Amino acid sequence: MSNKPTVACPTCKKPMEWSPANPYRPFCCERCKLIDLGEWASEGHKIPGQPVFDDVMSEDLDPSKTRH
């Protein structure tokens, strides 16, 4: 019996051993990791709250505020 904890993969819910031998932790495999990444990229997963924009970065996007 292993002393390593078992956790559920966040994507497929399959139980997996939490081990340094698994490079995809907390996911069970690369496929589940990429599915999760795709959900974030398509805004399927979101962190609640108002968007936060960095004023310095937003100036870079506004052509009327170019500094020459």
Q: Is 28 annotated as a binding residue?
A: yes
Q: Is 29 annotated as a binding residue?
A: no
Q: Is 55 helix (H, G, I), strand (E, B) or coil?
A: helix
Q: How many Å apart are CA 40 and CA 38, to the nearest integer?
A: 5
Q: Is 9 annotated as a binding residue?
A: yes
E strands within 1-68? 6-8, 15-17
Mark the binding-site residues, compressed into ranges. 9, 12, 28, 32
Mark the binding-site residues for Zn(2+), compressed into ranges. 9, 12, 28, 32
